[in-house]
Amino acid sequence: MDETAQAIAAMTAAVGQGCAPDGRHTGFDGADIDVATGLVQLTSLVQGVYGRISERHDLTPVQAKLLCVLLDGPRGMAELARYFGVEKAALTGLMNRAERRGLAQRSSVPGDRRAVQVTLTDTGRQAAIAFHSEVSSELGQLTSQLAPDDREHLRSTLAAIITTCGTSPLQGTC
């Protein structure tokens, strides 16, 4: 087993071997994990945390992601549509709901009559910061039982994977 698989297996053990996102035991044995299985299991754990915290903040996971992306500053509607992998019409629906809740607002881009940018409102910024803080805390617990060197190795490995795969230019903070 390579070091990345060992780190993922240790992280799985740290949150309870074989625990599904809802806390049920699935009989999963982290010691026999391969990288693909580990990443899938880790994804499930992270999505479970993200979903639970979104619900606690009265947000859908997509709304939470939008708020996190906008924490870094205004984004164009076309840029957001590409980031979310949706048509502009679907993003418009998401934005309509966010605006009704007072979380975000659309405005014209100076110098480009056709372009529209999206920014957080004060309420949206507060919601995004609170959500980010809670997500960071709970996700930090996933790795809290790893040795500091293992946490750093996992962090650098994740950064290398993300960099190599060329993820979206938008880097949401949550």
In this predicted model, what pLDDT tens digit does every residue of 80-121 receive, in sequence order? 999 899 998 889 999 999 999 999 999 998 888 888 999 999
Tell me the three-class secondary structure of 74-121, residue by residue: CEEHHHHHHHHCCCHHHHHHHHHHHHHCCCEEEEEECCEEEEEEEEEC
Q: Are 115 and 109 in contact (CB under 8 A)?
A: yes
pLDDT at 168: 53
113 vs 22, more confident: 113
Structure tokens at 111: 């110098």
The reply to whether 67 and 118 lie within a common domain is yes
Residue 140 lies in a domain: no
In this predicted model, what pLDDT tens digit does every residue of 162-172 receive, in sequence order? 888 865 555 55
The reply to whether 37 and 92 lie within a common domain is no
Q: How many domains does the chain have?
A: 2
pLDDT at 7: 47
**Which residue's entry shows tokens 């975000």?**
104
13 vs 34, more confident: 34
pLDDT at 25: 41
pTM above 0.75, yes or no: no
Closest alpha carbon to 71 in 6, 8, 136: 136
CATH number (domain holding residue 68): 1.10.10.10
Closest alpha carbon to 114 in 73, 69, 76: 76
Closest alpha carbon to 42 in 80, 8, 69: 8
- Boundaries of domain holding 3: 1-56
The reply to whether 82 and 115 lie within a common domain is yes
